[in-house]
Structure 1
Amino acid sequence: MSLPTCARNATLRDLEAILRHQHAAKLDVVAPATAIRSERGAIVLSGVTPLLDERGVTTVDGRYVPTAAADGTIAAKLGISLRYLRRLRAERVDLFDANVNGWLHGHADNPPDPRSFLLRLFRRDDGDGVLRAMLSDSYGIIDNLDVLTAVLDGIRQADVDVEVRACDLSESAMHCKVYSPGVARLAPALLAGYRNPFSDPTLDAERRRIVTDLDDGRRAAQAEGQGYDEEPVVFAGFRFSNSEIGDGSVTLKPELFVRVCSNGLTLPALAVRKVHMSGRMEAGTVTWSRDTQNKHLAVIASQARDAVRHWLSPEFLAEQVDHVEQTAATPVTQPESTVKVVAKRLGFTDAEREGVLRHFIAGGQLTTGGLAHAITSFSQTVADPDRADALDDLALTAMTSAHRPR
């Protein structure tokens, strides 16, 4: 069974198809440390009660191969350096097993770990399953498909015309980008002199390389049909994300969207978050009642409804554009040195710094606002959806940082 786990710049229809495919394969188990062991780098479960559902009885015991994200959760829960654990997986899988098993089961004078863990799994009918995460047994499960459904329901309740412009999915999180075509505002200080950096064939090729292969041609045709709006216009938008494996929370954050180049300047300081927490769960396979799920999702839907009504309003957009434009028009007279300083402050890699500089020059707008655009256009060429989202969150911080005297 082929099980897609990642997508980049997917359509809403593509994302829904992937999430439904994943949902059918999901298995959640709370198991004591004594029922978990590492064997040749895979996690082996033994003595776990089989799952009984509408499909019949499913044996839970067996081998589950960890994803890279799952290794991160194993390291976090057992207090092992992630860098060290990754090196062991690559070079000494025997020591990987010894470290994981030693912390789980104890040795000599060290007793076994007394805890139980929530294991988020994908089951497969044709071989080993997949370990997605090893989490606390008090982690509150809120799945991507349910979050997507709840947020879309909140949008319908808000009765605002929107388009879901792009969706990303990684092993760690789901990210969706939404904007309202009917809520727009001129932003001359933010966009004056700015040109689409993807008119440069090299930069356009970088972006196209990371597009998911699901119905690639259809998406490209849609993007080409957007046309070019010569007026310096931004649209009201927002993003929402969720992690199923403990790498965050349900998050909604407003965004200023530039349609011509698909740049989005997020406003993370105004984000709304719902942390995944619940009471301690009993050992065994985990199932949630429909009533419990509905209560969680109703809260998310109502938060989305209220956020959409506020963020996708002309008044909110005007207020945010006015605020951003206070510093967006500041000239950047030394692009290379400015990008270097800002990149160091914000923890960019050398490759990210060089990429942002290329986009800054290609955008032709040598201002602090142009630097923010360079980050959000460069992020579209980053294959990792989670890192791309983090870069977008840093764009306005970079603009303020470049405006600040050095």
Structure 2
Amino acid sequence: MTIASPLPPLTLRNATLDDLVEVLRAQHARKIDVIVPAERLRAVGTHLELIGTEPLVSEDGVTATAGRYLPTAHCDQDIATKLGIPSPYLRRLREENGRLYDANVNGWLQADPHRRFLFRGLAGSGRTGIGRALLSNSYKVIDNLDVLMAALDGIKESGVAVQIDGADLTERRMFLRVACEQIQAYAPELVGDYRSPFSGASAAAYPVVFAGFLLANSETGDGAFTITPRLTLQVCRNGMTINRDVVREVHLGGRMDDGIVRWSQDTLAKSMQLVTARARDAVRTFLDVDYVQAKITELAREARVAVTEPEKTIEFVSTRLSFTKDQQQLILQHFYKGGAITAGGVMHAVTSAAQLLDDAEKAFEMESRGVEAMHLAAAF
């Protein structure tokens, strides 16, 4: 592995579309995808080493695939899952006992030497690359860059003007938040007495909700390609995802033989045509005034339910949704700042608090539970 340029970042938070595309292109230029049997894998110094795998030949030259790769935290979790090693234990070994880490991984690899995996990595600037995932050899590779470009084509084909409300990239997933401010609806019953915890502006003066959706994909085996409708409050950009209407494409394919993974242009084109079509259809469905108004009406039914015991309610909601103590306290602060002492106020507190989390995965998980938090608060 002899690529001279610096390794691209693995994560982005609240990035622009241009920033996201730049990083994805840099990652794409370094990607290593190899179907490898366990007998050609070993752990050395808490790195994963590929032994005797064929080089990758492309228009940019020849890149060695054999060599050492430092697993990300997500890749370590894959290793643990595939080999039946408890993840917390393997994590502890990485931090405290590298030799025992190697012994555990190598012992289980040697137990079934002909078992095959899809290894996904990034070629390094020197001798060491990055191990991103260890997956089943039936995993269908759909890369973030290809998905993003195909989805943008679908948005363009829909003929609807949209705005990019931010992008995130993690070791696990890519997220793109898309809003359409031209398609909006008034939602006074949904916002009630709510005010922005960021600016203090009253939502009653700006009771507008924009149409939109969240596009997500994982190229490391942590979820399907999805498009989820997402409503955005004008006053504070809180996002409310409507999870039950999600459009999903699972990464399942046929088993592949050993060696470099080479998807034919025809196979790739067919996959991306599906992504483009689904994005186009999702835009036409979700970016629609009638759709937005129908969802506002549904949410408003429970949003008006009064919360008589805020601290107990938010503790109950946080426990049910597995929020941490710190997240629970942040939600409670936002609930009081928001001023809407209702189940809808709980939803708004969850979605506004999510905006302050530095970890994009945790922010996504929190925001995606906002509507569920309202249901729980209304029923408490």
Same fold per TM (> 0.5)? yes
Q: Indicate the SS of the match to 1:341.
A: helix
SS of residue paired to 1:381: coil
CA distance in 2, matches of 1:188, 1:53: 57
The unaligned stretches of length 5 or more in structure 1 are 107-111, 201-226
- How far does residue 389 in structure 1 lie from its aligned partner after superposition? 1.0
1:131 alignment counterpart: 131
Instruction: Supply the distance in 2 between the matched residues of 1:249 and 1:383 (Cα, whole angstroms).
Output: 23
**Cα drift, residue 104 of structure 1:** 0.3
Is 1:326 aligned to 2:301, yes or no?
yes
What is the aligned length? 375
**Distance in 1 separating the partners of 2:339 and 2:309:** 13
Q: Distance in 2 between matches of 1:280 and 1:57?
A: 26
Report the equivalent of 2:274: 299
The whole-number CA distance in structure 1 between the counterparts of 2:124 and 2:7 is: 9
Report deviation, 1:341: 0.9
Secondary structure of 2:177 counterpart: strand
**CA deviation vs aligned residue, 1:358-385 (integer Å, no higher than 9, x gap):** 1111111111111101101111111221
Correspondent of 1:273 among 245, 248, 251: 248
Shift of 1:173: 0.3
Whether the aligned pair in 1 keeps the contact of 2:357 and 2:363 (CA below 8 Å) is yes
The question of whether the paired residues in 1 share the 8 Å contact of 2:193 and 2:340 is answered with yes
Q: What is the root-mean-square deviation in Å for CA atoms of aligned residues?
A: 1.5
Q: Aligned partners of 2:172 and 2:257: how far apart in 1?
A: 25
Per-residue deviation, 1:228: 8.8
1:27 paired with 2:19, answer no
Question: Does residue 94 of the first structure (1) align with residue 69 of the second (2)?
Answer: no
| Distance apart, 1:2 and its partner CA | 3.3
CA contact (8 A) 1:249 1:274 kept: yes
Rounded Cα–Cα distance in structure 2 between residues aligned with 1:229 and 1:19: 40
Q: 1:370 aligns with which of 341, 345, 349?
A: 345
Q: Report deviation, 1:50.
A: 1.6
Give the structure 2 partner of residue 221 of structure 1: none
Instruction: Give the distance between the partners of 1:157 and 1:36, measured in 2 at CA.
Output: 45
Matched-pair contact (CA < 8 Å) for 1:190–1:370: no
Output the CA distance in 2 between the equivalents of 1:188 and 1:51: 58
Letter in 2 for 1:395: G
C-alpha deviation, 1:190, in angstroms: 1.3
Partners of 1:234 and 1:56 in 2: CA distance:
50
- How far apart are residue 33 of structure 1 and its match? 0.3
Partner of 2:357: 382
Work out whether 1:257 is the aligned partner of 2:232.
yes
Equivalents in 2 of 1:353, 1:395: separation in Å?
13
Matches of 1:323 and 1:78, distance apart in 2 = 45
* 1:229, distance to aligned residue in structure 2 (A): 8.9
After superposition, the C-alpha distances for 1:328-376 in whole angstroms (9 at most, x for unaligned) are 0111122111101111111111111111101111111111111101101
Which residue does the alignment assign to 1:144? 144
Identity of aligned residues (%): 44
| Secondary structure of the structure 1 residue equivalent to 2:198 | helix
- Helix, strand or coil for the counterpart of 2:168? strand
Question: Greater relative contact order (Cα 8 A, min sep 6): structure 1 or 2?
Answer: 1
Give deviations 1:273-323, integer Å, cap 9, x for gaps: 100011111111112122111100100110111111011101101110001
**Corresponding residue of 1:338:** 313
Could you tell me which runs of 5 or more consecutive residues in structure 2 were left unpaired when the two chains were aligned. 1-5
Q: Tell me how far 1:58 sits from its aligned partner.
A: 2.0
Pairing partner for 1:49 from 54, 63, 84: 54
User: Normalising by the residue count of structure 1, what TM-score does the alignment of the two structures yield?
Assistant: 0.90
1:394 CA displacement: 0.8
Deviation at 1:49, TM superposition (A): 1.4
Which letter does structure 2 place at the counterpart of 1:129?
A: G
- 3-state SS in 2 of match to 1:231: coil
TM-score in terms of structure 2 length: 0.96
Measured against aligned partners, the alpha-carbon deviations of 1:60-105 in whole angstroms (never above 9, x if no partner) come to: 1111000111101111111111111101111111111111000001
Q: Distance in 1 between matches of 2:60 and 2:320?
A: 53
* 8 Å contact from structure 1 (residues 229, 260) kept in 2: no
SS of 1:261's equivalent? coil
In structure 2, the residue matched to 1:313 is: 288
CA contact (8 A) 2:25 2:145 kept: yes
Partner of 1:235: 210
- Structure 1 residue aligned with 2:167: 167
Using the alignment, how far apart are the partners of 1:105 and 1:147 within structure 2? 36
2:176 maps to which residue?
176
CA contact (8 A) 2:192 2:203 kept: no
**Counterpart of 1:198 in 2: which secondary structure?**
coil
Letter of the 1:241 partner, please give it. A
1:358 aligned residue: 333
